[in-house]
Amino acid sequence: MISNDFNFQIIHLNSVHSTNIYALELIQKENVREGLVVWSDFQEKGKGQLQNSWHSEAYKNLTFSLVINSKWRVDAGFNLSKIIACSIAKSLDTLTAEKVEIKWPNDILINKKKVGGILIENSIQGNMISSSIVGIGLNVNQEVFPAFAREATSLKLENGTSFVPEEVLHVLLNTIKREYFNFVSQPSGVEQFFLDRLYGLGENLKFKDFSGEFTGIILGVLPNGHLLLNKNGKAKSYENKSIAFLE
């Protein structure tokens, strides 16, 4: 758990393969303090969810990893993901009046377009998570994006103004610290915010699972992080990778 006298220690790089990998290499070499942040202006091999890559134009955006030694049971690991997604959404709320949502499991949307993503890589001992590398990619000032399955955007494109990435980084880190403690002392506030901002909650949306395309309704997210859907009148849960959003 983040200790109360916790201070962020930031390593700022111009270029790196991936901040998550850099943080992992440091952890394997030396005794890394919780709160270590590896921030790079560019990643040559940024990693995304599901073996995808994360593309981000140099100097325009934020790509960083934060080391947190929270001790969750493996089956409660989604808590951290939830805290981070809510922290990013709350941070963006202070920077833009546009609609910020959290798309299960780890995407941050503005006006339904993807502005950020989270990749948490955990070290596990037995049935406990012993430490987590929380990788965050946030599109800040980039204006042109390749075509992705879900349209990408940036804070600048949606808000119409540029931001200083370092200032956004500090807003994010301070919000993560605050929301982490909020969650530990009283989870219900973060849980409620997560549901309030969960993209598609209670709406008919098109999905694709192993049996094909269908229209379902998101009912919520289970404590283990699985998505709960109403599919043809029956509740059905999905783990990450087993379902795709078609809208």
DSSP letters, 97-147, are: SS-EEEETTTEEEETTEEEEEEEEEEEEETTEEEEEEEEEEE--S------
Task: Assess 91 for contact with ligand BTN (CB under 6 A).
Answer: no
Pick from 65, 87, 96, 132: which binds ligand BTN (CB under 6 A)? 65
- Quick one: 43 or 91, whose CB is closer to ligand BTN? 43
Minimum CB separation of residue 48 from ligand BTN in Å reads: 3
User: Distance between CA atoms of 40 and 153, rounded to whole angstroms?
Assistant: 20
Task: Assess 54 for contact with ligand BTN (CB under 6 A).
Answer: yes
Minimum CB separation of residue 17 from ligand BTN in Å reads: 8
Minimum CB separation of residue 46 from ligand BTN in Å reads: 4
Of 44-52, 68-76, 147-155, 232-240, which segment contacts ligand BTN by CB under 6 A? 44-52
Task: Assess 90 for contact with ligand BTN (CB under 6 A).
Answer: no
- Residue 2's SS3 state is coil
Minimum CB separation of residue 36 from ligand BTN in Å reads: 13
Minimum CB separation of residue 61 from ligand BTN in Å reads: 9
User: Distance between CA atoms of 141 and 59, rounded to whole angstroms?
Assistant: 9
DSSP letters, 174-225, are: HHHHHHHHHHHH-HHHHHHHHHHHBTTBTSEEEEEETTEEEEEEEEEE-TTS
Task: Assess 117 for contact with ligand BTN (CB under 6 A).
Answer: yes
Task: Assess 15 for contact with ligand BTN (CB under 6 A).
Answer: no
User: Distance between CA atoms of 62 and 141, rounded to whole angstroms?
Assistant: 9
Minimum CB separation of residue 165 from ligand BTN in Å reads: 12
Of 45-53, 75-83, 89-97, 156-164, which segment contacts ligand BTN by CB under 6 A? 45-53
Task: Assess 48 for contact with ligand BTN (CB under 6 A).
Answer: yes
Task: Assess 43 for contact with ligand BTN (CB under 6 A).
Answer: yes
Task: Assess 46 for contact with ligand BTN (CB under 6 A).
Answer: yes
Specify the DSSP element, H or E, that contains 35. Answer: none
48 class by beta-carbon count within 10 Å (0-12 exposed, 13-18 middle, 19+ buried): middle
Q: Kindly list the residues in this chain that would bind ligand BTN in the complex (CB under 6 A).
A: 18-20, 43, 46-49, 52, 54, 63-65, 106-107, 117-119, 135-137
